[in-house]
Structure 1
Amino acid sequence: MSKKIIHQGGTPGGPGEYRDDNAKAVRPKEAATLIVVRQAKQPKILMGKRAASHKFMPNKFVFPGGRLDLIDQRLQVPKDLSAPVMQRLRKETRKDVSDNKLRGLALAAIRETYEETGLIIGRRTNKRLKTADKVWQSYFDHGVEPPLDKIDFIARAVTPTYRTRRFDTRFFMVHDEFIHTDPEEMAKASGELLDLHWLTLPAARKLDLPAITRSVIDMVEQRIQLAPNQRHKKPAPYVRFINGKPVTSEL
């Protein structure tokens, strides 16, 4: 029996979120998300609400993030991901996927956060970094470089095969010491995410969240309880569907 087709707003009928059983599964697009953590007695994370007009997860609260762009893979930056992070990204990944692409996923998370929230996640530098890409050049013009060596990789998730829009998303985490601007100043946000707020983990769990986002919040909580030099040793869960059933392994 075919699945009921659901509109992006949740009304039955017409094209929507779920594919018909007779249709081929959509190939997932590469994407990345950045969880920015403000350390305090009660740690906070940055989240925003997707607009009702979005075709993917409308009205849900999510972390900033988006698709991998070609420029993210080609961008030349001074620092690289740490060896443990690169090793985890490499696990269960096709051999023909380049290091530039894996590094680009972390850069995409930083770029999307800059675009969607206006926050600059970076490390101050005296180097004059140049690129033809307008968004990245705007980022570099603030006198910063991406702090790739301080980015942690905490999870990977692929949208279920029954969805009409699918993403293979890597979830990265960074701490607020690398916020180059006022963390409360998000006036330059693109508007793609609404109601941008710093939320305690208990407050975040009360929101309308995608299932994977709820799981990632638990992963964040587990990681921030570890000493900084121990976090890279914790495996990153990899969640995907095989033969219609959810499968989780560790990276």
Structure 2
Amino acid sequence: MTVQESPPIRDAATIVLLRRHAGGSSVLMGMRGVKAVFMPSKYVFPGGAVDPADALAPLARPLSEMNRRRLLEEPREGPPPDPHAIAAAALRELAEETGLLIGASQGPASNWPGYAETGLSPDASKLHYVFRAITPPGRPRRFDARFFVVDADVISGDPDDFGRACDELSHLHWVPLPEARALDLPFITEVVLAEIAELTGSVTHHDPLPLPDTVPFFDNRGSAPRFAQIV
């Protein structure tokens, strides 16, 4: 009997778009295809794997220093993580999967779909790093996923216009935060939703999104799961 080797762990980035208003908050979610290798038919946030080209992607503004520092904590074996590439991947995947842009009118030119047509430059300064999880062994694909929360007010354009979205996610819609956990979700998505609810529960929709005191980390690099807090 052949023992199947665990697939390599790839860096990935996900954006949790939060639309806040006086009556509560909604989060943008879409459903993965039934034939998807990873998490088929599950509702997820926009996101995906980091591509090599993301390291060279021009950004109008970088991540904040605190976010950069936290992304460098708890590195895996091998080359250190690249905060620039991770942030760029989050913005690129958002544009591809939803058609929504987070950009600035002044900045280096971008050839990404959506950004190229509008003349905007991707803006990473709006991203708040709030969660990290490594896929457990035994899955067909494994990712070291970093989750960023973003206030929907920073979207460039109409937050309800998904006309430029690719077909990777279907049923894209804004889901009231209390109702989102009733969807068919991956376990980690449920956990992230709970963290977002706790993070934003004590502020009004007029307040800036708060930075978390620590970043929860579900570490499944080894055979035994580990939970840590990145300070």
- Calculate the TM-score normalised by the size of structure 2: 0.89
Q: Distance in 2 between matches of 1:230 and 1:165?
A: 32
Q: 1:179 offset after TM fit, Å?
A: 0.8
In structure 2, the residue matched to 1:12 is none
Q: 1:116 offset after TM fit, Å?
A: 0.6
For the pair shown, the structure with the greater C-alpha radius of gyration is 1
Describe the SS at the equivalent of 1:245: coil
In structure 1, the residue matched to 2:92 is 111
Matching of residues 1-251 of structure 1 within 5 Å:
22-40=3-21, 41-94=23-76, 96-97=79-80, 101-123=82-104, 125-127=105-107, 129-131=108-110, 134-135=111-112, 138-226=114-202, 231-241=210-220, 243-251=222-230
Q: Distance in 2 between matches of 1:239 and 1:179?
A: 29
Give the letter for the 2:16 counterpart: I
- Please say which of residues 102-111 and 70-79 is displaced more in the overlay: 70-79
Describe the SS at the equivalent of 2:5: coil
In structure 2, the residue matched to 1:14 is none
Q: Distance in 2 between matches of 1:216 and 1:89?
A: 17
Residues 145 and 225 of structure 1, relative CA distance in 2, 3 Å threshold: farther
Describe the SS at the equivalent of 1:218: helix
Residues 48 and 233 of structure 1, relative CA distance in 2, 3 Å threshold: closer
Query: CA offsets, 1:204-226, max 9 Å, x none?
Result: 11000000000000111122235
Q: Distance in 1 between matches of 2:209 and 2:185?
A: 29
Number of residues of Structure 1 aligned to a counterpart in Structure 2: 225
Contact 2:20 2:151 in 1 (8 A): yes
Q: Distance in 1 between matches of 2:96 and 2:150?
A: 17
Contact 1:34 1:113 in 2 (8 A): yes
Contact 2:18 2:149 in 1 (8 A): yes
Residues 212 and 186 of structure 1, relative CA distance in 2, 3 Å threshold: same
Contact 1:152 1:173 in 2 (8 A): yes
Coordinate RMSD, CA, aligned = 2.1
Q: Distance in 1 between matches of 2:106 and 2:48?
A: 29
- Calculate the TM-score normalised by the size of structure 1: 0.82
- Please say which of residues 212-221 and 230-239 is displaced more in the overlay: 230-239
Give the letter for the 1:184 counterpart: D
Residues 53 and 168 of structure 1, relative CA distance in 2, 3 Å threshold: same
Query: CA offsets, 1:114-155, max 9 Å, x none?
Result: 1111111223x244x335xx425x414413232312210011
Residues 194 and 233 of structure 1, relative CA distance in 2, 3 Å threshold: closer
Give the letter for the 1:130 counterpart: A
Q: 1:77 offset after TM fit, Å?
A: 2.1
Contact 2:97 2:166 in 1 (8 A): yes
Give the letter for the 1:111 counterpart: R
Describe the SS at the equivalent of 1:197: strand
Give the letter for the 1:209 counterpart: L
Q: Distance in 1 between matches of 2:137 and 2:85?
A: 25
Q: 1:29 offset after TM fit, Å?
A: 1.2
Q: 1:42 offset after TM fit, Å?
A: 1.2
Q: Distance in 1 between matches of 2:30 and 2:24?
A: 19
- Please say which of residues 89-98 and 173-182 is displaced more in the overlay: 89-98
Q: Structure 1 stretches of 5 or more lacking a match? A: 3-19
